[in-house]
Structure 1
Amino acid sequence: MSKYDNAIQALIDQYGDDIAFAAEGKPATTIGDFIDHLDTAVRTLELGGIHGTEDLETAVRDLAEVTATADDAERRILLNRARRNLKYVPDMVEELRLMG
């Protein structure tokens, strides 16, 4: 497992349960599933009127690009940006839970 695989797994571990709740699914175990759930969660959060989904859309694009590139410098930049854009997921999902 590469350092990038570890970084991706850390994001899944940190945000997977919240994203799964918003996506109304089971927690992701792969980056592909995580990206799909995140994309679905964006729509759910938008429908709930929760602000900040633009950051999550950017994270979806960045994570998809991470899987498509072999350039280490680019992967590092994309992962760091995705990490920053995901940092408010717990607050956003908590707001969604309170609505439910």
Structure 2
Amino acid sequence: MTTTTITVADMVRRYADDIAFVAEESPAVDLDSLVDQLGAAAGQYETAGITGHEDIAAAAVLLAEAGRAEDPAARDLLLKRADVLCWEIEDMTSEYRTMVGG
């Protein structure tokens, strides 16, 4: 069985545009910016009543931990867990766009 490695660059590439729209900022280009924007977006999703905002907040915590992890295996695990929690960002953002007219 092969395992897929998730990198910080993968996380930024996959989620930065959608999260930036919700956070009302320019797309993140690094982990710290993505973590900050995920936290802001989680609050926006919650305010809009969009299900899944808790997962986005939890993903921000995991990504922050990944950024501090010295052990590569621990970092990989944290990134994978965060990626799983972010799987609905595209749908959540689509719902958010509909609500705010964007």
State the TM-score, normalizing by the size of structure 1: 0.92
Identity %: 36
User: Following the alignment from structure 2 to structure 1, what is the Cα–Cα distance between the partners of residues 48 and 66?
Assistant: 29
Equivalence map 1:24-63=2 (5 Å)? 24-63=24-63
User: Following the alignment from structure 1 to structure 2, what is the Cα–Cα distance between the partners of residues 82 and 14?
Assistant: 12
Deviation at 1:48, TM superposition (A): 0.4
SS at match of 1:50: coil
* Greater percentage in helix: 1
User: Following the alignment from structure 1 to structure 2, what is the Cα–Cα distance between the partners of residues 48 and 24?
Assistant: 14
User: Following the alignment from structure 1 to structure 2, what is the Cα–Cα distance between the partners of residues 76 and 12?
Assistant: 15
User: Following the alignment from structure 2 to structure 1, what is the Cα–Cα distance between the partners of residues 69 and 15?
Assistant: 23
State the TM-score, normalizing by the size of structure 2: 0.90
Unaligned 5+ residue runs, structure 2?
none
Equivalence map 1:50-89=2 (5 Å)? 50-89=50-89
Number of residue-to-residue matches in the alignment: 96
User: Following the alignment from structure 2 to structure 1, what is the Cα–Cα distance between the partners of residues 69 and 14?
Assistant: 23
Deviation at 1:30, TM superposition (A): 1.0
Q: Structure 1 stretches (4+) deviating beyond 6 angstroms?
A: none
